[in-house]
Structure 1
């Protein structure tokens, strides 16, 4: 068992930290809203700290799951940042979806300080985090990944190294691109069915077992047909991720036309007031525009 810090207790981080404690690790948490960290400590057997540095002190591993590039820099750097509290040889594992730029920047700073760094964004949403069934896409050295993998297994159903630092984030971008295209296609199919008088539930029953089937179809079609979007991964966060995807495409010369188009569709959803709606709200956009 290891001594572990967990930084960031959002809808993903809160249960992920809980799985670490349940697996027998000694866990100290930090959250920008201190009351949430105190609540986590009451719900579990772990401790809580007032700064990332305090949480990271003496830990073998420091895991982070925060909002964006700036949030990640804030918990890592500075006098109260995690890097300042970590001991030489400790490993920082970043579960945040961030840009390759900040990943490489922080990995280099970690290396300069004698620390390990694994970028390990996750997929599976809140349900995956709560059930300990996330997919974890990792980049980092073989040795540092091998050390961190048993820790991540507490909440990861699939944990895989895909290359050196940055490859985990690249894999997450590919994941988000697939989701965006699938949700738009599913939305259009269900929208056509409704406009044509075809029963959407019956349609899904027929086509879901064939080549059209997907996780999105299985898990989101009922709420999409019911015009319910108050769950899952928010449009605001998806647009943040798609911006990273598009920048990554520009950086390597990869054409991502569908991604760019769906990003604009999500922009429409934000203008409709749906920034906190689930990503399946692309269906609502189609209904709005007829």
Structure 2
């Protein structure tokens, strides 16, 4: 199976690498071509200089880029993948986008007899590097089944959530839950620190109980030390929670805690923390608690 990967950021670079290591014939494209060349120094594959060159012979084209407009640039623009993919090929979008864009891509792909699935991922950079991502899929069951060998190369779990767009909606819920976990963890840490509890000992105690979470195991200690310069930048979380809040409004829902967290992230970004990890929410919670 010939596979193409568009976008070699912190997620796409290792994901494409796992495909090469799994034995797929891989071609990659990145807008900064040196990144694609660097990829080929680590893995077996072709660094294409254009999207057309990258996708023209591919059975499956995967992409993981920044936002809705980045996806459109890579897929439906004059130089985008859909105009050069062969009939019957498959387009998979691993980017976290709006559900509206997923529907837009489905219609554009169907017009060209190309199959499409939205498949945002969760697990962050470490999940991509270790090949243990969770993949939330929207599309047809037959297509989902066909893509299993691809998804297993870099995913620990892939779940079909329903029709196209439902993968993106599942990712919205995922981001809301992460934001909630970080807010609760931030407030808990403040009380723990003020009470004189040993944070490492506390985490060891709590992580295997009902309060345990990925955020607690991986971020509690660094949050307590005011260390945030790693992981998933709040620039992206602002984008993702924006999609979540927009979707909620369509259903007449007021997600008060998610809105507050979104607002906190916007304030933190304006203050210069936009490239910090999402756990930097702790700084905003500290400020609120001190009032």
What does residue 94 of structure 1 align with?
A: 93
Pairwise CA distance, 1:78: 2.7
Which string of whole-angstrom CA distances, capped at 9 and with x for unpartnered residues, describes residues 238-289 of structure 1?
A: 0000000000111122332211111111122213311011001111223445
8 Å contact from structure 1 (residues 173, 245) kept in 2: yes
SS of 1:273's equivalent in the other structure is helix
SS at match of 2:35: helix
The 8 Å contact of residues 249 and 255 in structure 1, kept in 2 or not, is answered as: yes
SS in 1 for 2:159: strand
- Structure 1 runs (4+) deviating above 6 angstroms are none
Task: Report 1:92-131 matches (<5 A).
Answer: 92-131=91-130
2:266 and 2:39 map into 1 onto residues whose CA distance is: 34
Equivalent residue runs for 1:105-254 within 5 Å = 105-254=104-253
The TM-score, its normalising length taken from structure 2, stands at 0.96
* Structure 1 position 205, deviation (Å): 2.7
Q: Which runs of 5+ in 1 are unaligned?
A: none
Whole-Å separation in 2 of the counterparts to 1:265 and 1:196 = 25
CA distance in 2, matches of 1:102, 1:51: 23
Give the Cα separation in 2 of the matches to 1:13 and 1:182. Answer: 26
Which structure 2 segments of 5+ residues have no match?
none
How far apart, CA to CA, are the structure 2 residues paired with 1:78 and 1:232? Answer: 31
Distance, in Å, in 2 between the alignment partners of 1:194 and 1:267 is 26
Secondary structure, in 3 states, of the residue corresponding to 2:20?
helix
Aligned partner of residue 194 in structure 1, secondary structure: helix
Per-residue Cα deviation, 1:75-119 (whole angstroms, up to 9, x for no partner): 002332100111111000000000011111111100111000000
> 2: CA distance between counterparts of 1:209 and 1:77?
46
Q: Secondary structure at the match of 1:145?
A: helix
- Please give the root-mean-square deviation of Cα atoms over the aligned residues, in Å: 1.2
The residue aligned with 2:55 is 56
TM-score (norm 1): 0.96
Cα distance in 1 for partners of 2:58, 2:252 equals: 40
Question: In 2, distance between residues paired with 1:209 and 1:58?
Answer: 48
Q: Which range is displaced more, 76-85 or 150-159?
A: 76-85
CA distance in 2, matches of 1:149, 1:237: 27
Determine if contact 2:181/2:215 at 8 Å carries over to the other structure: yes
Q: Take 2:40 and 2:202, find their aligned partners in 1: how far apart are those partners? A: 47
Say which is worse superposed, 190-199 or 135-144, in terms of deviation: 190-199
CA distance in 2, matches of 1:213, 1:17: 32
Q: CA separation in 2, counterparts of 1:207 and 1:160?
A: 29
